[in-house]
Amino acid sequence: MLKYRNTTALAAALIASLGTPVLAQDADKGEDRRSHAVITPYIEAAQVVTAELQPGSDVFTYSRLAAGVDATIAGRNSAGSVSLRYERSIGWDDDVSDVDTLTGVARGSLALVPRSVTLEAGGMAARTRIGSNGASSLGGYGANSDLTTQIYSVYGGPSVQTHVGDVEVSGAYRIGYSRVESPGIVPTSSTGSLVDVFDDSVSQSATLRAGIAPNVVLPVGIGAEAGWNRQDISNLDQRIDDRHVRGEVTVPIRRDLALIGGLGYEDVTISSRDAVRDANGDPVIGSDGRFVTDDSQPRQIAYETDGLIWDVGVMWRPSRRTTLTATVGRRYDSTTYYGSLSYTPSANTALNVSVYDNITGFGGQIASSIEGLSTNFDAFRNPVTGDLNGCVGSAEGGNCTLAGLGSLRSATYRRRGVSASFSHTRGRSQLGFGLGYDRRKYIAAAGTVLAPLDGLTDENYWVAAYASRQLDRQSSLNFGATASWFDTRLDNAGSSLGYSANLAYNRTIIAGLSGTAAIGLDGITRESLPDYTSASALLGLRYSF
């Protein structure tokens, strides 16, 4: 959710304080405010054959019926995109269960008071595979539905921006809800212990900032900020309560370069409860495969810190289309690094890089990722499974939330890493890719069932790519791929590599009716368990209204 460590928001605020024009993509938004809407509902039927290549050699067949809608809406005071799909898979064999799935992603904004008050909202529904070490990865569905789980997340809230004399005032409040359904098979680690899969959480954040630009009252820009981040996680009643206040200064060196810095105070507390224990002292596990929370016992502190925080850095903006911020400081009682790069050489090309450091839970992470999504995007789907691919693309840079999910464990963690995305559209072609590294250090209270996780880390390296080409007026070719390498210190299960790739040919038969032929390869490679690989083929028809 919104925090001052959100480097994109920080860069925008500091650019404003320098008195320079808005970023190019923001300027492009204001050039054409004529209302338009593209809404495409559809129904679809397809036949899928999946062959297990290893460790077995089974062949599964199932039919797929789906209904969905893809829409992009833009108006003078509103904008939004949505891709929503309901699907039912019907197995032809007794070993293949029937599955109902809802997947989609949406992001929108509405100006309640033009240029002053905006309401933001978004949501995501996705399906992912979960491993015995808690890692998630895309692909490998169909006949193996017990190995998958469903993820839901929504967020919303108002933003305010105005001026009081020479003072620029801005603020925002966000609330989000995230949930992970219980998988058909409860995952256990290599030692046989339960992997406590995240259940649900409510995330809230609020920020308020006031600042004066350089050379208005003083040669330097000055500002003050306050922020609050609260996450309530249902598993063992975990809670993150993070508050800070901070003063900041912007020192112009030249028109395209400024030094930035801040000094403040923070108070962070993470707490939880233990699980209910049986007569032998073992934790009780509920019907959903998660620990049962002992509400009769007091909360226990897992992490607590308060004191001074500081940061210093540089902001460079050589042109309207390039912005770079890089900052080092101290927070969470240790050194922190964060920054961002935004490069949009044209309206059809975008490169974004983000370096981050924050304390969060799985639900808060997902809600923040949705908030960072553009209101104008293209959702790329796996043509064989119908699920969302790792990334969505937009003229303002991609978002690869699903490619970088990492672990689905419930414990809170300090998250550090870097992510990058690139998107480009030229004529009939569109392509993009994303890659990143994510490191989580888990935080758990002593004496609780999660205590063995405290201080342990896992790492996730991920990459995702998509490409599409309009061959002629009737046909197109689409490609998507994602891979994630997950390594954990939480048990001796070692690392795992999950991957998925697909290729589809689409052709218009008559107006509104199109056919699809697609192939896909999905798998996972593990150190402690047999590898799994499957290949699939699809033939289908879609009617768009």
Q: Does residue 437 carry a pLDDT above 60? A: yes
Q: Does residue 2 carry a pLDDT above 70? A: no
Tell me how far apart the alpha carbons of residues 8 and 344 are, in angstroms, rounded to a whole number.
14
For range 482-506, the mean pLDDT? 87
DSSP per-residue string spanning 5-37: T-HHHHHHHHHHHHTPPPPHHHHHHHH----EE
- Looking at residue 230, its amino acid is R
pLDDT category at 17 given cuts 50, 70, 90 is: very low
For range 143-164, the mean pLDDT? 85
Both tokens assigned to 164: 């009081």
Length of the chain (residues): 545
164 and 212 in contact (C-beta within 8 Å)?
no
CA distances from 504 to 74, 98, 212, 423, 499 (A): 29, 24, 53, 20, 17
In this predicted structure, what is the pLDDT of residue 244? 97
In this predicted structure, what is the pLDDT of residue 493? 64
Q: Does residue 80 carry a pLDDT above 80? A: yes
For residue 67, give the H/E element and its range: strand 59-74
In this predicted structure, what is the pLDDT of residue 379? 86
Q: How many CA atoms lie within 13 A of 290 on its CB side?
A: 24
Q: Does residue 23 carry a pLDDT above 80? A: no
Mean of the per-residue pLDDT values for the chain? 88
DSSP per-residue string spanning 256-284: TEEEEEEEEEEEEEEEE-PBPB-TTSPBP
Domain ranges in the chain?
7-544
Q: Does residue 77 carry a pLDDT above 70? A: yes
CATH numeric code, 7-544: 2.40.170
Q: Does residue 7 carry a pLDDT above 90? A: no
The pLDDT tens digits of the residues spanning 356-412 come to 999 999 999 999 989 988 898 888 899 998 998 888 876 565 578 888 888 899 999
Tell me how far apart the alpha carbons of residues 135 and 129 are, in angstroms, rounded to a whole number.
8
Tell me how far apart the alpha carbons of residues 164 and 15 are, in angstroms, rounded to a whole number.
19
Q: Does residue 138 carry a pLDDT above 80? A: no
In this predicted structure, what is the pLDDT of residue 22? 32
The pLDDT tens digits of the residues spanning 209-264 come to 999 999 899 999 999 999 999 999 999 999 999 999 999 999 999 999 999 999 99
In this predicted structure, what is the pLDDT of residue 146? 59
For residue 6, how many other CB atoms are within 10 A of its CB? Answer: 23
Tell me how far apart the alpha carbons of residues 93 and 50 are, in angstroms, rounded to a whole number.
12
CA distances from 37 to 52, 73, 257, 376 (A): 43, 4, 40, 11
In this predicted structure, what is the pLDDT of residue 25? 34
CA distances from 203 to 265, 351, 364 (A): 22, 29, 6
The pLDDT tens digits of the residues spanning 257-280 come to 999 999 999 999 999 999 999 999
Tell me how far apart the alpha carbons of residues 213 and 396 are, in angstroms, rounded to a whole number.
26
In this predicted structure, what is the pLDDT of residue 531? 86
Q: Does residue 98 carry a pLDDT above 70? A: yes
Highest mean pLDDT among 14-18, 131-135, 196-200: 196-200
